[in-house]
Chains A and B, each alone.
Chain A
């Protein structure tokens, strides 16, 4: 067990465990935000595991999750739009905290990787992760309500 795996275990138990508590209890607005955060925090954990196991191909998992996680949240934002419009979620603090965790993990891995094609791939994963989750959070908060009708 090395430091990367330990960091992954910390992210999983603290981050994903916390979002699991959030998604199982409380009002609907809290649950959808927690579901979005669970993908935003599992993705850095997968990146850390790829580095910990020294298997660069495992980064593909994080890439797929960074792409499909926001898609899943957009499904909820679209199909629960009426219920969320009555009680819109406002959780920009935790959203930016999760984005910060993702950015910190990607930066640390970039430093460990050094300049190469793998570094560009890591940066692409990080951009997808942070951009996708900010867009998904905006959709949950009702930021794209005009698009739905248009």
Chain B
């Protein structure tokens, strides 16, 4: 390994730790999660804490699936 390689360089070459790459991914997932959580909130009949917790979990799973589907469609 090049001795001049700094910690930041190591971070940047590791895809999961590079802030320039993780930030857009997190932003996209958060946007999907927010949209799906709002959809759940609209579609349920009674709002109570348990329903909200289940909705947040389902929206998280849905956000991962939605990003995977979006990547499969746009081909990136």
Residues of chain A whose beta carbon lies under 8 Å from any beta carbon of chain B: 56-57, 60, 63, 117, 120-121, 124
Are B39 and A57 in touch, CB under 8 angstroms?
Answer: no
Are A63 and B43 in touch, CB under 8 angstroms?
Answer: yes
B-chain residues with CB within 8 Å of residue A60 when the two chains form the complex: 43
For the complex, what is the distance from the CA of A56 to the CA of B44, rounded to whole Å? 11
Contact count band on B: under 10
B-chain residues with CB within 8 Å of residue A63 when the two chains form the complex: 43
A-chain residues with CB within 8 Å of residue B41 when the two chains form the complex: 117
Other A-B pairs beyond A117-B42, A120-B42, A124-B42, 9, CB < 8 Å? A56-B45, A57-B45, A60-B43, A63-B43, A117-B41, A121-B42, A121-B43, A124-B39, A124-B43
Q: Is the interface of B mostly helix, strand, loop or mixed?
A: helix
Which 4 pairs, one residue from A and one from B, show the smallest C-beta to C-beta distance?
Answer: A120-B42, A121-B42, A117-B42, A121-B43
Q: Is the interface of A mostly helix, strand, loop or mixed?
A: helix
B-chain residues with CB within 8 Å of residue A120 when the two chains form the complex: 42
Which has the most chain A C-beta neighbours within 10 Å: B39, B41, B42? B42
A-chain residues with CB within 8 Å of residue B45 when the two chains form the complex: 56-57
For the complex, what is the distance from the CA of A63 to the CA of B39, rounded to whole Å? 12
For the complex, what is the distance from the CA of A60 to the CA of B43, rounded to whole Å? 8
B59 to chain A, nearest CB (A): 15
A118 to chain B, nearest CB (A): 9
B13 to chain A, nearest CB (A): 34
Q: Mark B16-40, 1 if CB is under 8 A from A, else 0.
A: 0000000000000000000000010
B30 to chain A, nearest CB (A): 21
B-chain residues with CB within 8 Å of residue A57 when the two chains form the complex: 45
For the complex, what is the distance from the CA of A57 to the CA of B46, rounded to whole Å? 11
